[in-house]
Amino acid sequence: MTRTIRIGTRASALATTQSRLVADQLSQRLGREVELVEISTEGDRTQAAGTPLAGTASTGVFVSALRDALLDGRVDIAVHSLKDLPTYAAEGIALVAVPAREDPRDVVAARDGLTLGELPVGSRVGTGSPRRVAQLHALGLGLDVVGVRGNVDTRIGKVRSGEYDAVVLARAGLARLGRLDEATEVLDPLQMLPAPGQGALAVECRADDELGDQIAAVLDDPHARAAVTAERAVLATLEGGCSAPIGALAEVVEGDDGEELWVRAVALSPDGALSVRMSATGKPNDAHGVGTRLADEMLADGAAGLTSPAADKRQDA
């Protein structure tokens, strides 16, 4: 009898929705029974306690407990928001699949159906992300950017209650929850580059488990894999030389000589007053190299001088 595939997931509504998407695809494509196993993570506990993630020392606060459950055999695979993954490898664990990616852009959920540009000067806009804070300031709209924590309901609830005029969220999360109608504006990447890996899921498995090859064969999307590989290479390289808020977005597009990978990235001072913004192109099969070279150019052009104290750039939601 073929054993049931146990999927480790955080307990939040968004995490379980994402894990069910993976579970449904595995059930359909592999013909296997699948069950979700909820795991409590450090990120969930600090979020519930109201502790700001940007001040935590750990970079993988939503990841480590799931990986522990994977390694000790409580679950067979783990599903993460890919942007939460640390950029360094974890011993004994393989990233076996990056499924097809949701739209990675950010959105605004504002009172009265307003866009960012329509909000009056001094409007309170909530976000817990240093990347979004810096890019909001860089737009020069005179907004009062304030911190916000909690799940989608909590954040949008602060707008409905009148505490905030708007919040900035990941479009992918709203889409997966079936709540896109609550977004009042989708932000163009020219205004705000998303977090590296935003909108993508990561499916991890024990490195020595043959299940990984089966999952890769039915779930891994080569375009999504190339894009996030480039974005994470940008992040890893920039983190080695600066601690500034970072945004990056890569896409596989059709070029004159076949498929090309186009990568855009930005590193900013916390107040958005200074930034280094660059782009690069290359082959999808050299995604890591394209991202690394782009980040090296950014560091040489001044990104190394941009600093942000204790900023954990992966905790966007």
Residues recognised as catalytic: 84
Chain centroid to CA 214: 25
Backbone angles phi, psi at 238, to 5 degrees: -65, -40
With beta carbons less than 8 A apart as the criterion, state whether 167 and 145 touch. no
Q: Are 169 and 183 in contact (CB under 8 A)?
A: yes
Residue 277, CB-side half-sphere exposure with 13 Å CA sphere: 14
- Beta strand 201-206 with 93-97: parallel, antiparallel or unpaired? antiparallel
Within 8 A by CB and 6+ apart from 24, the residues are none
Give how far Cα 288 sits from Cα of 154, 226, 233, 284, Å.
Answer: 37, 8, 6, 9
DSSP letter for 102, please: P
Q: Torsion-angle region of residue 197: left (phi > 0), alpha (psi -120 to 50) or beta?
A: left
Residue 93 and residue 206 in contact, taking contact as beta carbons nearer than 8 Å: yes
> Are the C-beta atoms of residues 273 and 137 closer than 8 Å to each other?
yes
Quick one: 4 exposed, middle or buried, by C-beta within 10 A (0-12, 13-18, 19+)?
exposed
Tell me which DSSP letter residue 304 carries.
G
Give the separation between CA 29 and CA 144, rounded to whole angstroms: 48
